[in-house]
Amino acid sequence: MTAVAPDPILEGIDLVKRFGGGGLLASPTIVHAVDSVSLSIRRGETFAIVGESGCGKSTLGRLLLRLIEPTAGDIRYEGRSILSLDPKEMRQLRRELQIIFQDPFASLNPRMTVGDIIGEPIWLHGLAKGSERRERIAELLRTVGLLPAHVDRYPHEFSGGQRQRIGVARALAGEPKLIIGDEPVSALDVSIQAQIINLLEDLKERFGLTLVIIAHDLAVIRHMSDRVAVMYLGEIVEFSTTDELFDNPLHPYTQALLTAIPVPSPVNRSPKPLLQGDVPSPTAPPSGCRFHTRCPHARPICKEQHPSLETAGDGRKVACHFWREIQNAGASALSASPQSAALAKRMALYTSWRERQDQVTNPSRK
Amino acid sequence: MTDSVATATAADVIDMAAQRQSPLLQVENLSIRFDGAPLGINVVDNVSFSVAKGKTLCIVGESGCGKSVTALSLMGLLPTPPARIVGGTANFGGRDLFSLSERERADMRGNQTAMIFQEPMTSLNPAFTVGDQIIEGILRHRRISKAEAKERALEMLRRVRIPAPEKRMRAYPHEMSGGMRQRIMIAMALANEPQLLIADEPTTALDVTIQAQIISLIRRLQDESGMAMILITHDLGVVAEVADEVVVMYAGRIVEAGSVDAIFEDPQHPYTIGLMGSVPSLGRRQGRLATIRGTVPSAEMMPKGCRFMPRCPFADERCVNDAPPLAELEPGHWARCWYAPLELHRGGIV
């Protein structure tokens, strides 16, 4: 949460990705997955991309690592375009740009031992050999809170949370500078989610990483990230520092997203204004502003004219014709209801005993 | 003015008391066992709870805590083998659900009791239109004509706010979005006006704006019909929004139970507190998340004392050796911990 000098590490410039509509055998319907998206990720920050299913956030994540080729636009890593790199150069670069996937059950090869899974990038990039490599694998396992003894086991022998730790260890093996987490905790149980969130934050601190978190869970994003891009149907509709976005959401879609979150406190149970209808299909995005079919503030111009992503002061951007009026229309900011005295007291007690629990037993297993 | 308010309050209290005396469903000492599990290790262990007419009970817990197995047993949908009810009763309107015949259970399912699941696509038949599926459920339990059943199905689609219901009657499940399919499931579940609805993670697979729509829909339908609901979820936000009463389960046992206010404002069990600390706040960041160490023990590794002991920061020898009872700390608020309230037993300097 410290102030980061604007030093871009990874940039997407006017990125476009369409699926389908290609040759004779391809599907005739074109999916507009990502449309004219530009963003700049700063070194050392945690950048979040948030949106609902089908908004293009995962596609954008894959484009940024060039795991899929963009239809148009450019991707720059440390100032130079990575689209012109040949496969060999790209492989070299992958060491520095890593990804963690949502499903820890699907993203690890079931026939490889944990040691092989983590050791592969080390071998591939020629980082270490023989006993040095084994020592490195053991070190990585300890780093992510597993035991060096786990090295000969297979993924199915581990729980979901442990598998996600294996995925994290593998991502770290190549000594990356940037890690993209594509819904890294959403398949996990609540208590395990918190463990992985803390692990990612510790690793970021320890290795000076840049994190890009792709998620639909706004509470996770508020907790982890410095800046946020909100996506809707392939476009960025709002762009802001995290605290400002949550304190004063500008785009009506962001406002609706924040209103829809169930707040874990039974104190204020008032009926909320809810967004109606479903997200339209990305094969036929609505004309004008893509959100106009669900927007409570839509006017005729919204159907006709596409709003540009305009600057809304202090590094914020919003794509809405009427964000100034809507802002004054009194859309309430999200307020976390305060903890009760009893909960606060016991939470403090829990936290201090929890710290002691870590100190008393093996300190590497958090 | 003041008088009428006071009278209403008094009447409410009497009403609540009456409901507490005769709940719609009363589960007592339910134990379920999986074949092959170590001796004495039940996947659901001595679980008791009740739900009154018009009220919502939330069962909260993580994977493997036994919440879904409990729900399936109430519906008579427990896969036997491997799962078996080894003890307990479930009194529903004067009858024990567990001693009914298969045929009686089938007559009850989708009629007096109904259930909706997390993933509506797997609960709908892809080969039939949604209209046919709703009509089939109505005709199974009611002696009415097909035309009347169709009218009833249409009315249900309107009640769950499906746009263009006549057209949607002829649609197949795959032609609908996840949110629409969940609405269809709800229409189907409520078509025969059940007295009890069991909803197992009904919004977990849905996006947050759609989740909010479905929750508000379920609450409205419940207000209209006065049915009781058991909602099973891992999401504390959802619990806070809909629950009247809450049961927190861990490794097959109830670790805490009480009114929604008691659970959120005065949580007693270390697991409940740890769970709340694990959820990131929506307010400004307040440092690292409090976590619960480790993972749920497997049946083979189940501790003989308190099942939460290996993960609990407060545990000591007593917790290793003796399982604590579910003790009533305040009227209607129960917790299974030797050291609750924690500030009394664990409040000293660490």
Q: Give the nearest chain B residue to A244 (CA atoms).
A: B284
CB spacing of B295 vs A159 below 8 angstroms: yes
Percent of chain B predicted with pLDDT > 70: 93
A191 → closest Cβ in B62, B213, B264: B62
Q: How far is CA B33 from each of CA B37, B80, B96, B198, rounded to the nearest angstrom?
A: 7, 10, 19, 21
CB spacing of A278 vs B179 below 8 angstroms: yes
List CB contacts (< 8 A) between A191 and chain B.
Answer: 62, 274-275, 278, 291-292
What's residue A364's pLDDT?
Answer: 43
Whether residue B94 has pLDDT greater than 70: yes
List CB contacts (< 8 A) between A261 and chain B.
Answer: 208, 212, 237, 282
B278 → closest Cβ in A191, A265, A343: A191
Instruction: State the DSSP code for A332.
Output: P
CB spacing of B291 vs A195 below 8 angstroms: yes
Percent of chain A predicted with pLDDT > 70: 93
**Taking chain B, what is the end-to-end CA distance rounded to the nearest angstrom?**
53
* pLDDT grade for A365, boundaries at 50, 70 and 90: very low
Q: Which structural domains are found in chain A, ordered by start?
A: 1-96+176-279+308-361 (3.40.50.300), 107-174 (no CATH)
Residue in B119, B181, B209 to test binding to A, most A beta-carbons within 10 Å: B209
Instruction: Tell me the per-residue pLDDT of A60-110, one tens digit each, with 9 for 90 and over.
Output: 999 999 999 999 999 999 999 999 999 999 988 998 999 998 887 788 899
What's residue A337's pLDDT?
Answer: 67
List CB contacts (< 8 A) between A53 and chain B.
Answer: 178, 207
A353 → closest Cβ in B212, B284, B350: B350
**Residue keyed to tokens 């909010």:** B212
List CB contacts (< 8 A) between B178 and chain A.
Answer: 53
More confident of the two residues A75 and A53: A75
Q: Read off the pLDDT of each residue in A47-57 and give the average, rounded to a whole number.
A: 91
Q: Give the nearest chain B residue to A337 (CA atoms).
A: B283
CB spacing of A275 vs B212 below 8 angstroms: yes
What's residue B139's pLDDT?
Answer: 94
What's residue B4's pLDDT?
Answer: 42
Whether residue B256 has pLDDT greater than 80: yes
Q: Give the nearest chain A residue to B237 (CA atoms).
A: A264
Determine if the peptide bond prior to A280 is cis (ω within 30°): no
Q: Does B342 touch chain A (CB under 8 A)?
A: yes
List CB contacts (< 8 A) between B240 and chain A.
Answer: 262-266, 269
B282 → closest Cβ in A53, A194, A334: A334
Closest residue by Cα to residue B31 from B101, B84, B102, B71:
B84
What's residue A333's pLDDT?
Answer: 53
List CB contacts (< 8 A) between A198 and chain B.
Answer: 288-289, 291
Determine if the peptide bond prior to B341 is cis (ω within 30°): yes
Closest residue by Cα to residue A194 from B277, B312, B313:
B277
Q: Does A256 touch chain B (CB under 8 A)?
A: yes
Closest residue by Cα to residue A190 from B239, B285, B213, B117:
B239
Percent of chain A predicted with pLDDT > 90: 58
A220 → closest Cβ in B178, B280, B341: B280
List CB contacts (< 8 A) between A218 and chain B.
Answer: 208, 282
Q: Give the nearest chain A residue to B250 (CA atoms).
A: A191
What's residue B54's pLDDT?
Answer: 93
Give the number of beta-carbon pairs within 8 Å between A and B: 186
Whether residue A123 has pLDDT greater than 50: yes
Tokens of B96: 């024990």
Q: Does B241 touch chain A (CB under 8 A)?
A: yes
Give the count of beta carbons closer than 10 Å to the beta carbon of residue B27: 25
Three-state SS at B222: helix
Question: Chain B 279-298, CB below 8 Å of chain A: which residues?
Answer: 279-285, 288-295
B265 → closest Cβ in A342, A349, A365: A342
* pLDDT grade for A366, boundaries at 50, 70 and 90: very low
Contacts of A13 (CB under 8 A, 6+ apart): A38, A73, A74, A75, A76
Question: Chain A 322-351, CB below 8 Å of chain B: which residues?
Answer: 334-336, 340, 342-343, 345-347, 349-351
The enclosing H or E element of A132 equals: helix A130-143
Domain boundaries, chain B: 113-193
Rounded Cα distance, A12 and A6, in Å: 15
Among A296-300, B39-43, B241-245, B330-334, the minimum mean pLDDT is found in B39-43
List CB contacts (< 8 A) between A1 and chain B.
Answer: 285
List CB contacts (< 8 A) between A157 and chain B.
Answer: none
Instruction: Tell me the per-residue pLDDT of A155-192, one tens digit each, with 9 for 90 and over.
Output: 998 888 889 999 999 999 989 999 999 999 988 888 88
What's residue A328's pLDDT?
Answer: 61
List CB contacts (< 8 A) between B341 and chain A.
Answer: 346
Q: Give the nearest chain A residue to B273 (CA atoms).
A: A347
Q: Is A106 exposed, middle or buried (0-12, 13-18, 19+ CB in 10 A)?
A: exposed
Determine if the peptide bond prior to B82 is cis (ω within 30°): yes
List CB contacts (< 8 A) between A162 and chain B.
Answer: 295
